[in-house]
Amino acid sequence: MMATSVPTEKPLRRALVMAASQGLGRAAAHALAAAGVDVVVSSSSAARCEATAAELRAGYGVRAHGIAADMFDPPAMDRLVATATDALGGIDILVINYPGPALGTAASVDLQVLETHFHSMVLSPLRLIKHVLPQMRRQQWGRIVTVGGRGMVAPLPNKVTDNTLRPALLAYSKALSNEVAAEGVTLNFVLPGTFLTDRVQASTTSNAALQGISFEAAMRQRLQGIPAGRFGALAEFGAAVAFLCSEGASYVTGSVLRVDGGQIDSIL
């Protein structure tokens, strides 16, 4: 008589998604909730957090909570993780995202502004990782996904803060991924191309002013540089994040996944 396998219950997954009340972070939260993941939505706006959490509860039937926290205040990350852990019972997935940093050229960099953004783009993410990592290692499963930018691969004009600070977190994540890979914890970056977010609108306006051209002309320039011939859909970005957080991505770590329609010229 053949032995019958006993079905195993799908493990409960719980995610904390940063800057998740709009744009790319919101797309990631929706994709995770669609996959059955319970989600804490965080951003600096309590109203937007709760509105997005309500969407997730109504749309996917998952547990979803909105918890406001300002990434410019690194100690606030301690309270955020504690509150999120109480709400969901633990954090298995961390999606690190933050509002687009200050624009500017390298020659005109404001060191005080750069230091301020160092708090939100490096110190706060490291603080979050420090808090969620011990549980992930104990349970031998965890996913940490960070939203990057094209300046990590090829420095971009008028984006000195991106070009300077994002690579720091990428290097840290790569080093940590090697240390915890054998424990079932993965760390990856997802690198978006051009999606029609508020950040793209703002940077296009700034670029147009620098070049002395219209906003419409600057948008056409952006489009011409995308081999796919279109801007990305937010759902496409969310799907990439959901994949990196899935069981199927267990052998993907220390990597950068581009979701850019071929926009970045370099091979590596």
Do the domain assignments include residue 227? no
Number of domains in the chain: 1
**What value, to the nearest 5°, has the Cα angle with vertex 210 and ends 208 and 211?**
65
- Start-end of H helices in 181-229: 198-211, 215-224
Q: For residue 51, what are the domain limits?
A: 14-195+232-259
Among candidate residues 155, 148, 159, the one with its CA nearest the CA of residue 102: 159
Measured distance CA(11)–CA(138) in Å, rounded: 15
For the entire predicted model, the pTM comes to 0.89
Angle between helices 111-118 and 160-180 (to 10 degrees): 30
Do the domain assignments include residue 206? no
Digits of tens for pLDDT over the chain (268 positions)? Answer: 444 444 444 567 999 999 999 999 999 999 999 999 999 999 999 999 999 999 999 999 999 999 999 999 999 999 999 999 999 999 999 999 998 888 899 999 999 999 999 999 999 999 999 999 999 999 999 999 999 988 888 888 888 999 999 999 999 999 999 999 999 999 999 999 888 877 777 777 887 888 888 888 888 888 888 999 999 999 999 999 999 999 999 999 999 999 999 988 887 7
Do the domain assignments include residue 209? no
Can you give the CATH number for the domain in which 71 is found?
3.40.50.720
Q: Give yes or no for a contact between 41 and 65, defined as CB atoms under 8 angstroms apart.
A: yes
Do the domain assignments include residue 164? yes
Do the domain assignments include residue 216? no
Residues 6+ apart with CB under 8 A from 82: 131
| Paired residues of 89 in beta bridges | none
